[in-house]
Structure 1
Amino acid sequence: MKKIFTIAACLALGAGNVMAQDTFPRNGVYDERSGLVAFTHATVHTDYKTTLPDATLVIRNGKVEAVGANLKVPAGAVVVDARGKHIYPGLVDMFSSYGLPEVKSERRSYSSPPQPESEKQGAYNWNQAIRPETNAVELFKVDKKQAAELRKLGFGTVLSVHRDGIARGTAALVTLAEERENEVVVLDKAAGTLSFDRGSSKQDYPNSLMGAIALLRQTYLDAQWNARNQEKEQNISLKAFEEANQYPQIFEADNKLNVLRADKVGDEFGKQYIIKGAGDEYQMLQQVKASNAPIILSLNFPDAYNVEDPFDARRVSLEDMKHWEMAAANAAMLQKAGVTIAFTASDLKDKKDFLPNMRKAIEYGLPEEEALKALTVTPARLLKAENKVGSLNKGLLANFIITSDALFAKESVILENWVQGHQYKVSEVPSDYRGVYTLKIANQPDRKLLIAGTPEKPELKVVAQDTVNGKVSFNGNLVTLSFNKDKKSNESIRLSGWLADKNLQGEGQLPDATSVKWTATFSEAMSQKAKADSTKTAKPVALGEMLYPFKAFGAAELPKQETVLIKNATVWTSEKEGKLDNTDVLLKNGKIAKVGKNLSESGARVIDGTGKHVTPGIIDEHSHIALDGVNEGTQSVTAEVRMADVVNPADINIYRQLAGGVTTSQLLHGSANPIGGQSAVVKLRWGKSADEMLIKDAKYIKFALGENVKHSNRSNLHSIRFPQSRMGVEQVYIDAFTRAKEYEQAWKDYNKLSKRAQAKTPPPRRDLELDALVEILNNERFITCHSYVQSEINMMIKVADQMGFKVNTFTHILEGYKVADKMVEHGVGAGTFSDWWAYKMEVKDAIPQNAGIMNKVGVVTAINSDDAEMARRLNQEAAKSVKYAGVSEEDAIKMITLNPAKLMHLDDRTGSLKAGKDADVVLWNDHPLSIYAKPLKTFVDGVAYYDLERDEQMRVELGKERMRLVQKMLNEKASGAKTQAPVSKKARVLHCEEVEVSEEEAYLAN
C-alpha cells in the first residue's frame, strides 16, 4: 500500500498550475491540467470538531472540491489510496516573519551623538518608530528554505509580520507554496501590527516603555486629527495608520504585564487587540481573561535548570523555577478560563520543538480538539480568512497535511503537506512490521517471534523454551534477524529474507553453518495493543500552587479584609489627640471605625496590643519602586508619559516596604528633564494587579531643577539638548506654560462654537503633553519638584507666580532651610531627606536640621526615601529629626504619615488614625521611632498584607517549595532531558537619575 500511495500522489505534483490563470506570460506551452486529485479511504478531519472515517477528499485547481464518505471519484482524477492515513487542514501560524527581511534593533553607541529628530526623508511621521506605511506584502519574498522548515511543522499558511517599530504597518497572510509571490499571497493586508518596541529606530524618543505607550497614544490622536486637517499637514504615516486600523489589530507583547498594558491602550481607543504573548499569561489569568483579548501563544517552554550544585541552585529564583514547571500548562489554563487562543512557532529557537511542545501542552491539560482549533479555525477566523483557510470545506484552498496517525499522537509523523494543491513530501515513515509471528526454521520446533519497539527502531524477542533478545532491521521490504539459539548459548542464528504480504520468509544459517529456509507467519499486530494503551486517559500532570504575585512571598490565597480590634496599645494618632496610652483601635470594612478605650466588637479578631504601638501607615511621598522604567530622559518636556502605565505589581520591594510599615507610595518620574512624567500613587496591595493598586484620582507630576536636567552628569555628546544651563531651565518652563495657555484658549474658542459650526471646523490638535500642563494651570494636577539649590527654588516659585500655577511640593530641597519663609508664603510643602549630603556639588550646603527648621517655620514637611532600601526604615529616618533638630516625637511621626498625606492631598482618607479614614495601620513591637521597632502587622484598607508570623511561616514553605522543584529538575536531568545553566538575575533598583542607555554608555559613564 505504501508504494501505491507514494506513486499515485507524485502524479499530482503540478496540481496547482491551473490553466495559466494569472497575468504572467509563459515561455513555453501552458500546463492545462486541472490538478484533480482524489484521496480515498482516509480519516479526514474537515475541521477541529468534524472527523470523517473512510472518507474521500477531492481537490481541483488548488481548492477543495468535495469531501465526504461514499463520494464518487470524478472522471480523470488521480486517485490516491490514503488508507490508514489522517488528513487535516493545513495549520495556520498567526505570527511569523516568513519571507521578510531581518530587522536589527539599532541602539546608539556611546560614540554617537543623540538623534532627536527623524532622519527618514519624505512626508512621514516625526518619529521613526512610527512606520505604519510599511506593508509586509511589499517586502515579502518566497523563501524556499524557510517554507520547507515551516511545512515540516504542518503549517500551510502564515501571517508575515514585519517586526519593526511601534506602529509596524500591515501584515500579509501568505501560503507556504513555492510559487511566485503573486500566487501565494492570500490577503495582502490581513492585519495591522503594533508593539512597544521602537525597533530599528535610532531616534532618542522613546527610550522607555512609558514613552512608547505615550507615543502610541499620541499617534492615535494625531491620526484622527490628520484625517480632518489634511489641508494643514499631509502625513503619509498618519494616513496609513488610519487605514491599518480597519484590519484586525495584532499587538506583540513580550510579557504578561505588557499584555495588560496593550489592552488598556486598545480600550482607550476602541480597539480590541489580538495580543501575541510570551507564555507567562497564566500568571495573571483573571486579568488576561478580563481583557477579552485573543492571545497568540508561544510554545517556547524553558528547559530545566542544572541545579546539581546547591550554590548554583540558589542563583535560580523561585519564579523561574515555577515557570519552568508550569509554562506548558499556559495554553490549558487560558483555554479553560475561556480565553481565545492561537499558536505560533515564532519564538522557538529550534522549530523542530513545535509539535513535541504542542503535545506537551496537551499532556498538561489542553484538549486535543482545542489544540487543533487554535491551529486552524481560530487564526483563520481572527484574520477574517475563514473562507480561504483553516478547514477542508468546499471552495477553500487545498491546504492540508497527511499524517501517519492522529496528528497529536506521540509517534505520528507528517508525511506530506499540500499547499494550494501542491504536494510537498515531508518525511518517510518506515513500514510498521511490529507484531506477533510464528517462526518456522527448517524442521526445528516452532518459535514465537515478537517484533516490538517503534517502526524506526524495532526490537526483537524470540520465545521457545526460554526467551532471548535479538536484533532485527528492515530495509524497504528486506529484513535481517539474528538471535542466540537459547539463553545459555552464544551461538547465533542469522536469518535474512523479505516481506510476503504480512508474512516474512527467506533463508538463513544455523550456528553449525547449515543453510536453512524459514518463514514467520503474522498472527497479531503489536501496534494495536500499543494504540489501545495510548487511548488510556493520562494522569493529570502534578503542578505546584499558583502564587499571587508569581514569585517568592506570593500567596496561593491573598489575605482578606477583616474586622480587627487592637486592644490596649500605645496609639499614635497623628491627630490633635496625639499619643494615647492603653487605647483600642477598631478596623472594620476597610476603615478605621473607632479609636478609644474599652472598645468591643462582635465577631472581630482581637489582637492584644499590650506593650505594642499603633501608628498610621507610613506614606512615602517620593519613591521609584515597582516601576518598569523611571525616566523618559530624551526631551525637556515629557508631561505626556504616565508612571501608571509601567507599574510592576510583582516588585519584591512592595512586600519589603510593607515589612517596614509603608502602605502608600507616590511613584515618581525621574529627574532627567525639567518637566517629567505623571506620577502614580499606589496603595501597597501585594498580590493585586497594577490597576488595583492605583489611587486613580491622585493626579501629580514630576518637575526637576539642577544638574540632572541640563545633563551635567552625562557625556559631552548630550550637549545638544536644550537646556544646557540653569537659565535655560527657567525658559523651558516659561515656554511650556505659554504654549499650554494658548492650547487651552484654542479649545475654549472651539467649544464655544455651535454644533453646526464645530461640524465644519476641525478641532485643535489634541496634545497629551499640553493636556497635563493645562491640568496644572487649573489646579487639577499637582507638582512635585526635584530641587536642591536656593537660587533655583526661588526661580521656580517666581515662574509659578508669573505663569499662574502653584508648586505643590519641593522634594529633596536640601537648602529648604534657607527659603522656608518663601515656601510658606507660596504655600508649597517639602519632602526631604533626613541626612543625605556630599554626593554631588549641589548638596554641599545640606544640614541635618533642614526638616526640623522647615517644620518649625510652618512648611508641611515630610521625610521621604527616593530609595527602595531606605523606604523600609522611614521610621528611623524620621527619628533623626528628633535627634538633630529637637522635633517632637509626634511631629516626627507626622513627617512620615499625615504630612505626606497632606502633600498628596490624601489626608481626608489616610495619614492619621481617625474614624472614617482608610484602615492603613501598622502594629509595631516597640516604640515606632526606635531602631529596634519592627512592624508585626501592616494593614492596607483593613487587609493584613504583611504579617510577621505569616512571613516566618512563608519562609519555611518557600524553602520546601524550592527543594521540591530542585528535586523535580534533578529527575528531569536524570531522564535525559535538556537543561540550562543557572544565571543570576539581579533586580535593578531605580533612582531619580536612572536613564535607559546602552551597556557601553553605562560602562563608560561610570
Structure 2
Amino acid sequence: MKKLLVLLFFLSLHISYAQDYFPTDAGVKIAANTLVAFTNATIYVTPEKVLKKATLLIENGKITNVGRSVKIPKGAKVVDLSGKTVYPSFIDLYSDFGIKKPKRAGTRSRTTQYAASREGYYWNDHIRPDINPIKDFSFDAKKAKELLNAGFGVVNTHVQDGIIRGNGLLIALNPNASNAYRVLDTKSAQYLSFSKSAMSKQAYPSSRMGAMALLRQTYNDASWYAQGNMKNKDLALEALNNNKNLVQIFETGNLLDALRADKVGDEFGIQYTIVGSGDEFERIGDIKKTNANFIIPINFSAAYDVSNPLLAQQISLRDLRKWNQEPSNLKVLSENDINFALTTRALKSVKSFHKNLQKAIKYGFDKEKALASLTTIPAAMIGNSAIGNLKTGSHANFIVTSGDVFDAKTTIYENWVQGEKNVVNDMTIKDITGNYMLFVNDKNYELVISGKAAKQTAAIKMGDKKIKSKFSYKEDWVSMTLNEDSVYTRMLGKIINTSKVMQGTAFDTQGNETSWSASLQVKKDNKKEEKKKEKEEKEATIVVLPVSYPNLGFGNYKIPETETILIKNATVWTSEAAGILENTDVLLKDGKITEIGTNLKARSAREIDGTGKHLTAGIVDEHSHIAASAINEGAQNSSAEVTIEDVIDPNDINIYRNLSGGTTSAQILHGSANPIGGRSAIIKLKWGENADAMIYENSPKFIKFALGENVKQSRSSNGTRFPQTRMGVEQLFTDYFTRAQEYEVLKKSGNPYRKDDEMETLVEILNGERFISCHSYVQSEINMLLKVAEKFNFRINTFTHILEGYKVADKMAKHGVGGSTFSDWWAYKYEVNDAIPYNAAIMHNAGVTVAINSDDREMSRRLNQEAAKTIKYGGMSELEAWKTVTINPAKLLHIDAKVGSIKVGKDADVVLWSQHPMSIYAKVEKTIVDGRVLFDRNEDLKKREAIKKEKSKLITMMLNEKMKGGKTKAPVKRGDINFHCDTLEALKK
C-alpha cells in the first residue's frame, strides 16, 4: 500500500509540473505554421541596436517585423523567449564548405611540365578564374551541423585551389532546403592566393615572387584581352574580366604576404579583402596603411610543453612570444580601426571557435565589435544587407541563447536559418548548474552540477571524500545513484522552485524508501564585489609581452632615431684619395657625414670617443642572399619579370648579424637557376624597419644573369628545360634580346601592343637603364656573354663569382665590366677547378673595379677578413684591399655617391672597430646607418640578457598553463633557410 501511495505521489507531481515541458512554445517544433512571433526576448537587431523585452516576427524565411510593440498577427505561433537573447546568426566569409578538395595531378613522368594542360584557357594552369563551384557543390550536413551549433548561419565557400581561384558561393546553412533555395549568391566573390593549383604540375611559378609576377602579367593580359586584341578566345581571361567587379578575397599565409598582396592590388587599382593569419599585430602600422578589409582566423597556438629543459632551449623566442601575443591580435586590430571579419579557417575543430574568441575577449577584444565581426561587417564586405542583422526584410537567420553569446556559461539553444529551426540544445532543459546541499539517509553531501543543457553532469562529495555516483537529468526529472562502498542508494526526484530545489524519493538495495532533497547554495557576497574581483583576477593573470621590430630576439622595441653623433680622435679609413687619417673627428648630422677634421665641436651631439679605434665606411656586399623569402624563380629559362624587391624579409636575423660584422648595404640577388634571372633589390640593413624602408630610394636597376652548370641543369636529375648546353645558353640570350628589340620597335610604333613585363625589363637593359650582375666561372662563357652584349650594344656591369677572371682581365677592363669575387674559394664544383686566390689582385692590377662579396649569410659577417686575404694573395695594399668591400662594390652598384666611403655629404653609414678593421681580432663596436646606431656591442650584451630573462618568463607561463590543464604541444626548433645561388623555394600547392 505504501509503494502505491508513493507512486501516486510522483504521478501527481508529474501531472502538476507537466506544463513546464509539455507543451511549452519554446520546445515545440514549428512545422506547417511559418508565421512565428518570438516574444519577450533581448534582441540584437545589430551589434549597436539592442531591444529589451522585444518581439521578432518571421514569415516565409524572412523577418517581417521587430520591436518592442509589434502587433502579433492572428494565427501566428507565439514563442515566449523570456530570459533569452536573440542574435543574428554568424557569417564565415572564408570556407570550402560543400566543396571537394581538388585531386592532385598525378603522373609517373619525371619530366617537368612547363606548358599548360588546359586548351582554350590561359597559358598558366594556376590561373583559374573560370572555376565556378556551383555545379559541384554538395551540401555537407555533418559540417553544417558543426557550424550551426557554433552559431553560424551563412558561409561563403569556394574551391581553395590555384592563384586565381574563381568565384565563391554564398550559402545559407539550411539543412532542410534545396540548393536552389539555400544558395544566396552564385557569384559572391572572386578568390586569389599565392598558392599553385594542385590539379596541375605546371612548374611556373616556383616562388613567391614568381606568383606575384604572374598575377601582374595576368592583369595586363586581361586588359589586353578586354580590348579585343587577342585572336584566340581565352576562357580564363574572359572569366577574370567578368569577375572584376566582385569582391576580391586574397588568402595569405603570413603578415608579409598580406602586405605583398596589397602591393600587387594597389598597382592595378584593386583593393583586396585580405585573409590574414593572426600575426597582424606584429606590424600593425603597415597593416593599417593597406586600407584593406581583413578576414581574420583565431587558431591560437597552444603552449609548448617546456617540461624538458633541453628541448625547451630549442624553441625560439619568436615562437614563444607567438603563443603569448596572438590572443591580443583582435584587440590590436580593433583599436587601430581596421575593419575585419572573423573566420573558422585553420581551426582543427569548429568547436574551439568560441573558446578562442572568449580568450581574445579576455585579452581585451570588445564584445560589441566581436559581434559585428561575425555579423554586420562580413555582410557589408560581401555586399549583402539581408544577412548579419535582424532588420525587417532580412533573412530569418538568428540564434537563441541563454544570455551573452560570448560568455563561456551561455548556452546556444537554437539556430534558425531561413526561418527553419535547428536545435542545438533543448531549450526546455533548465540550467541547474551550481553547488547544492544534498540531504538523504540522514546525511549531508555536497552536490556539484556543471555543464550545459542535456550535457549537465554531477559530482558528489562528503567532506574530502568523493562518492561514486551516476546522474541523469531529463524533462525536469533528476535520477541519481550513490555507491558508498557497494551500498547503493537510488534517487528519483523533480526540479521545483525555479531550479533552486530538488526533492523526491530514495530507495536502498533492500527496497526501503525515504525522501531526499537538494537546495542550491547561494553565495551571500555582494554581486558587484564579485564582478570587481573577477575583473581584477582576469587583469592580473593576463600579461601580454610587448612587440619588438622585428618581433624576435634582438628586435627593437623602438626604432632607433637619427642622431647627431660626433666621433672623436679615431683612425679614419676614408676609402677616398685622402686615405687613412689619424686622430680625426667625424660629425654625423641629419643622417649625413657633415664634417671631417680635428677638434670638431657640435652642440647637443652625442660624443663617442674613438681613441685607439678605427672608423670606416659601412661594408657593402655586392652579392648576398640574406633578407629574402625566396631567391630563385627557376621554372622558366628567363624570369626577368620577377623582382627580389617583392620578397624582402625584414624579419631575417641575418640582417642584425651582418650589422654586427659591419655590413650596412647589400645587393640581394636572384639566384642562378636560369640564364636570365630576376631583378635585384639593393637594400640598407635597417634592422627593425619594414621591407619597403630597406630598399634604396631611387634604387639603381639591376638584374641577375647566370652562366654555367646551374643554368644548363648539369646536376638536375629531371631537367628538361632549354638550354641544356653552354652553346644553348648563348642562343637563348640572342633569342631573347632579338625579341626585346622587336618588342621595343612595336612599342614605339604607336600601334597597340601587349604589355610584357619580361620584355619591358630586357628593353631596359638594351637602353642602358638596367645593369647586369652575371654569375660566371669559365673563361669561354665570360667571353661569350661579352660578345653577346657588344652585338646588342649594351654593357655587362659586373661579373660576379668570376673565378676565372684572371684569365680575361684585359678584356673585362676593355669592356668596362667590374668583377665581384670570392677571396679564396675554389674546387667546390668542377667549373671552379681553375680558381686561384690571386684572382682579385690580378683583375685589380689590370684596371678592373674589384669587389669581394659573400654569397653566404655567414661570410657576409666577416667581409673585413675576406678583404684582408687580398693582401696575402696578390700583395694589394691595405687601402686597396679595404676598398674591395667599401667603395668598389658601391661603384659596381652605382650607389657610390651615397655610400662606400667617408666623405662629406655622403650618408652617415659608418662602422667603429675596436682595432685595425682587417685584423682577425677586430670587433665591431658600433654600426651606424643613416645616423642611427643599429648595432652597439654593449647594447647587444644587454639584449642577450633580456632575451634570456624573457624566455624564462615565457617558459614559466607555459609551465603554469600545463599545470592548469591547458593544452600543450611538443617543442619545435625553427629551421631557417640558408639561401644560396642555387636554393629553390618550394611554392606550395
* TM-score, length-scaled by structure 1: 0.91
Structure 1 441/775 Cα, relative in aligned 2: closer, same or farther at 3 Å? closer
Structure 1 609/2 Cα, relative in aligned 2: closer, same or farther at 3 Å? farther
- CA apart distance, 1:165: 0.5
Alignment-mate amino acid for residue 144 of structure 2: A
- CA apart distance, 1:383: 0.4
- Map of 1:875 onto structure 2: 864
- Map of 2:688 onto structure 1: 687
- CA apart distance, 1:10: 3.9
- Map of 2:640 onto structure 1: 639
2: CA distance, partners of 1:441 / 1:152? 38
- Map of 1:758 onto structure 2: none
1:207 aligns with 2:209: no
- Map of 1:340 onto structure 2: 339
2: CA distance, partners of 1:512 / 1:721? 89
Structure 1 337/513 Cα, relative in aligned 2: closer, same or farther at 3 Å? same
Q: Structure 1, residues 594-618: CA drift from partner, whole Å, max 9, x if none?
A: 1111111111111111110011000
1:912 aligns with 2:901: yes
Following superposition of structure 1 onto structure 2, how do residues 645-724 of structure 1 map, counting pairs within 5 Å? 645-697=646-698, 698-715=700-717, 717-718=718-719, 720-724=720-724
Aligned pair count reads: 957
Structure 1 3/634 Cα, relative in aligned 2: closer, same or farther at 3 Å? same
Q: Structure 1, residues 544-584: CA drift from partner, whole Å, max 9, x if none?
A: 12111011111212222111111111100000100001111
Q: Structure 1, residues 41-72: CA drift from partner, whole Å, max 9, x if none?
A: 22111111122121111110001111111322
- CA apart distance, 1:290: 0.9
| Preserved CA contact (<8 Å) 1:861 1:899 | yes
Q: Structure 1, residues 75-109: CA drift from partner, whole Å, max 9, x if none?
A: 11111122222111010001000011113555987
Structure 1 165/685 Cα, relative in aligned 2: closer, same or farther at 3 Å? same
Most deviating of 303-312 and 538-547: 538-547
Most deviating of 843-852 and 248-257: 843-852
Alignment-mate amino acid for residue 615 of structure 2: V
2: CA distance, partners of 1:492 / 1:150? 42
Alignment-mate amino acid for residue 313 of structure 1: A
- CA apart distance, 1:496: 3.8
- Map of 2:397 onto structure 1: 399
1: CA distance, partners of 2:893 / 2:562? 25
Structure 1 595/418 Cα, relative in aligned 2: closer, same or farther at 3 Å? same
1:730 aligns with 2:711: no
- CA apart distance, 1:469: 9.3
Alignment-mate amino acid for residue 614 of structure 2: H
| Preserved CA contact (<8 Å) 1:417 1:423 | yes
Alignment-mate amino acid for residue 702 of structure 2: Y
- Map of 2:30 onto structure 1: 12
Following superposition of structure 1 onto structure 2, how do residues 517-556 of structure 1 map, counting pairs within 5 Å? 517=515, 533=531, 537=535, 539-540=538-539, 541-556=542-557
- Map of 2:625 onto structure 1: 624
Structure 1 498/778 Cα, relative in aligned 2: closer, same or farther at 3 Å? same
Alignment-mate amino acid for residue 236 of structure 2: S
- CA apart distance, 1:542: 1.2
| Residue from 13, 21, 24 that aligns with 1:3 | 21
Percent identical among aligned pairs is 47
Q: SS of 1:346's equivalent? A: coil
Structure 1 491/638 Cα, relative in aligned 2: closer, same or farther at 3 Å? closer
- Map of 1:151 onto structure 2: 148
- Map of 1:114 onto structure 2: 112
Alignment-mate amino acid for residue 914 of structure 2: N
- CA apart distance, 1:536: 5.3
2: CA distance, partners of 1:529 / 1:451? 21
2: CA distance, partners of 1:961 / 1:916? 42
- Map of 2:495 onto structure 1: 499
1:167 aligns with 2:164: yes
Q: Structure 1, residues 852-882: CA drift from partner, whole Å, max 9, x if none?
A: 1111111111000111111111011110000
Q: SS of 1:708's equivalent? A: coil
- Map of 2:757 onto structure 1: 768
1: CA distance, partners of 2:601 / 2:589? 12
Structure 1 679/730 Cα, relative in aligned 2: closer, same or farther at 3 Å? same
- CA apart distance, 1:500: 4.0
Structure 1 517/990 Cα, relative in aligned 2: closer, same or farther at 3 Å? closer
1:815 aligns with 2:816: no
- CA apart distance, 1:134: 0.6
| Preserved CA contact (<8 Å) 2:26 2:81 | no
| Preserved CA contact (<8 Å) 1:468 1:484 | no
1: CA distance, partners of 2:907 / 2:935? 16
2: CA distance, partners of 1:602 / 1:54? 71
2: CA distance, partners of 1:927 / 1:911? 18
2: CA distance, partners of 1:635 / 1:493? 80
Structure 1 910/231 Cα, relative in aligned 2: closer, same or farther at 3 Å? closer
2: CA distance, partners of 1:243 / 1:550? 41
Q: Structure 1, residues 491-548: CA drift from partner, whole Å, max 9, x if none?
A: 9987542234545332346999974445667896999969974995463321112111
2: CA distance, partners of 1:528 / 1:404? 23
Q: Structure 1, residues 702-737: CA drift from partner, whole Å, max 9, x if none?
A: 01111111111211x21x311111111111111111
- Map of 2:975 onto structure 1: 986
2: CA distance, partners of 1:825 / 1:294? 56
Q: SS of 1:322's equivalent? A: helix
- CA apart distance, 1:439: 8.6
- CA apart distance, 1:902: 0.3
Q: Structure 1, residues 325-359: CA drift from partner, whole Å, max 9, x if none?
A: 11111111111111111111121112210111111
Alignment-mate amino acid for residue 805 of structure 2: G
Q: SS of 1:375's equivalent? A: coil
1: CA distance, partners of 2:836 / 2:470? 89
| Preserved CA contact (<8 Å) 2:469 2:483 | no
2: CA distance, partners of 1:119 / 1:266? 28
Structure 1 101/950 Cα, relative in aligned 2: closer, same or farther at 3 Å? same
1: CA distance, partners of 2:459 / 2:76? 41
1:830 aligns with 2:829: no
| Preserved CA contact (<8 Å) 1:708 1:993 | yes
Instruction: Let me know the Cα RMSD of the aligned residues.
Output: 2.8
Q: SS of 2:711's equivalent? A: helix
Q: Structure 1, residues 651-683: CA drift from partner, whole Å, max 9, x if none?
A: 111111101100001000011111000000000
Following superposition of structure 1 onto structure 2, how do residues 102-251 of structure 1 map, counting pairs within 5 Å? 102-104=101-103, 112-121=110-119, 123-178=120-175, 179-200=177-198, 201-230=200-229, 232-251=231-250
Alignment-mate amino acid for residue 125 of structure 2: Q
Q: Structure 1, residues 259-310: CA drift from partner, whole Å, max 9, x if none?
A: 0000000100001111001111111111111111111111111111111111
Unaligned 5+ runs, structure 1: 14-32, 751-760, 1000-1006
- CA apart distance, 1:112: 1.7
- CA apart distance, 1:640: 0.1
- CA apart distance, 1:243: 1.5
Q: SS of 1:423's equivalent? A: coil
Alignment-mate amino acid for residue 87 of structure 1: V
Structure 1 129/510 Cα, relative in aligned 2: closer, same or farther at 3 Å? closer
- Map of 1:755 onto structure 2: none
- Map of 2:261 onto structure 1: 262
Q: Structure 1, residues 349-386: CA drift from partner, whole Å, max 9, x if none?
A: 12210111111111111101000000000000000012
Q: SS of 1:570's equivalent? A: strand
Alignment-mate amino acid for residue 197 of structure 2: G
- CA apart distance, 1:139: 2.6
1:81 aligns with 2:80: yes
| Preserved CA contact (<8 Å) 1:824 1:858 | yes
Following superposition of structure 1 onto structure 2, how do residues 949-964 of structure 1 map, counting pairs within 5 Å? 949-964=938-953
- CA apart distance, 1:634: 1.2
| Preserved CA contact (<8 Å) 1:468 1:483 | no
2: CA distance, partners of 1:70 / 1:907? 78
Alignment-mate amino acid for residue 823 of structure 1: M
Structure 1 229/512 Cα, relative in aligned 2: closer, same or farther at 3 Å? closer
1: CA distance, partners of 2:518 / 2:965? 36
2: CA distance, partners of 1:635 / 1:449? 74
* TM-score, length-scaled by structure 2: 0.92
- CA apart distance, 1:199: 2.2
Q: SS of 1:432's equivalent? A: coil
- CA apart distance, 1:955: 0.4
Structure 1 10/526 Cα, relative in aligned 2: closer, same or farther at 3 Å? farther
Q: Structure 1, residues 721-767: CA drift from partner, whole Å, max 9, x if none?
A: 111111111111111111111111111111xxxxxxxxxx6x20000
2: CA distance, partners of 1:5 / 1:69? 26
Q: SS of 1:132's equivalent? A: coil
